[in-house]
Amino acid sequence: MAISTSSSLLRYRKLAKRDWLVASLGLLLTVFSLSLFLDLTSDSVPFVDHNPTITSPSDLVKLKLSNKAKERGAFCLDGSLPGYHFSKGSGSGSKSWLIHLEGGSWCDTIASCSARAITRLGSSNYFEREVSFQGVLSSDPSQNPDFFNWNRVKIRYCDGASFSGRPEAEVKNETRLFFRGQLIWEAIMDELLSMGMSDSKQGILTGSSAGGLAALIHCDYFRDHLPKDASVKCVSDGGFFLNVPDVFGKPTVRSFYRDVVKLQGLDKSLDQKCVARKEPSKCMFPQEFVSNIRTPVFLVNAAYDYWQIQHVLVPASADLDKSWAKCRLNIKECDAEQMRVLHGFRSSLMDAIGKFHQNKASGMFIDSCYSHSQMLKPVMWHSPNSTRIQNKTIAESVGDWYFNRKPVKLIDRPYPCNLYCYNMNFT
């Protein structure tokens, strides 16, 4: 009996070790999958920086959870409090405010929102306690010549609907997710106004990717809550998403947006003039409502936007034969026919911004790079080797437009003409 028991224990220990190994591998795979999800959906997709910026302790800005969020019922997807990072302005910039809305795609189903709720894109429990302020948020005048001493704020993205979801939509939600992006936006705005923004003389609302779309959605709200005599404008970075079919003729992005709007109840947050005449999900596309924005707007966009090419034009789910596999990851790998399709995508962007281009108060920097969300990346925003059009960096262009130094409507020639481009390579 003792021998049998010992043998059983030995087998148990071997099994336990094997189960532990399997569990460990499973955990590693889960962590890897989540990190990949965060890389592919956030503003901070890795890229080769030929002029790496050395981050000093002064560039690191601490996280602050919103004081007003709880009383307003403004929660991240998982019910945690939303937050932001604030760097106080000084000198001539002490009454100037630049608000940046973080990006990171969207979630369109209970399953995808639930997965998101256990990452930093759905829960403040996973936010970094400090983040580096670079590009348009930098305090370094050589990197950020016009806005370095402004009050600079980065609002973290944890709702999955471009800061526009509404709690009325939660009745359909059996997993107790919180769809409160609109309340997050309003609560943090109230908090910033109480911190001195209500006395501002100058203001910019900007954002990248899904945050760039949010900057357009909330542009007039921002203008209306700052002093009437303040100079207030909005800048969208990589947020001009196109309503175009994928390469197989399917309305992939339109269907996706329809599900986001329906799930999180965005119809009341979107432009109401647009919603009154169109199906609400169409009003998530800037081409449908940008002409209704009263506040001056500047667009920073890559004509060969890699996120849109990888998710809108050639989604992986549609590329079953992998014929686009190399091209999607590296524009230099595209053959002549694929480049014809990509040039067609650029033409769609040109058509979509046609009326916007005619607006005297508007501005734009449309480069022909294989890029996305460029204003937080020093090497793209402003450096000796930055992306340029007509020898102007994005920072110089935005500054000239904001301060009315000169009109700025820069549109690059088609790829591959711009030698200053930092074209992403995901291979």
Q: Annotated catalytic residue: which of 208, 372, 373, 382?
A: 372
78 classed as catalytic: no
Q: Annotated catalytic residue: which of 108, 146, 271, 305?
A: 305
209 classed as catalytic: yes
Contact 160/122 with Cβ under 8 angstroms? yes
305 classed as catalytic: yes
- Reading the block at residue 261, the tokens are 């709007």
Q: Annotated catalytic residue: which of 209, 281, 362, 373?
A: 209
The span from the CA of 133 to the CA of 87, in Å, is 9
* HEC sequence for the chain: CHHHHHHHHHHHHHHHHHHHHHHHHHHHHHHHHHHHHHHHHCCCCCCCCCCCCCCCHHHEEEEEECCCHHHHCCCCCCCCCCEEEEECCCHHHCCEEEEEECCCCCCCCHHHHHHHCCCCCCCHHHCCCEEECCHHHCCCCCCCCCCCCCEEEEECCCCCCCCCCCHHHHHHCCCCCCCCHHHHHHHHHHHHHHCCHHHCCEEEEEEECHHHHHHHHCHHHHHHCCCCCCEEEEEEECCCCCCCCCCCCCCHHHHHHHHHHHHHCHHHCCCHHHHCCCCHHHHHCHHHHHHHCCCCEEEEEECCCHHHHHHHHCCHHHCCCCCCHHHHHEHHHCCHHHHHHHHHHHHHHHHHCHHHHHCCCCEEEEECCCCCCCCCCHHHHCCCCCCEECCEEHHHHHHHHHCCCCCCEEECCCCCCCCCCCCCECC
- Catalytic residue list: 209, 305, 372
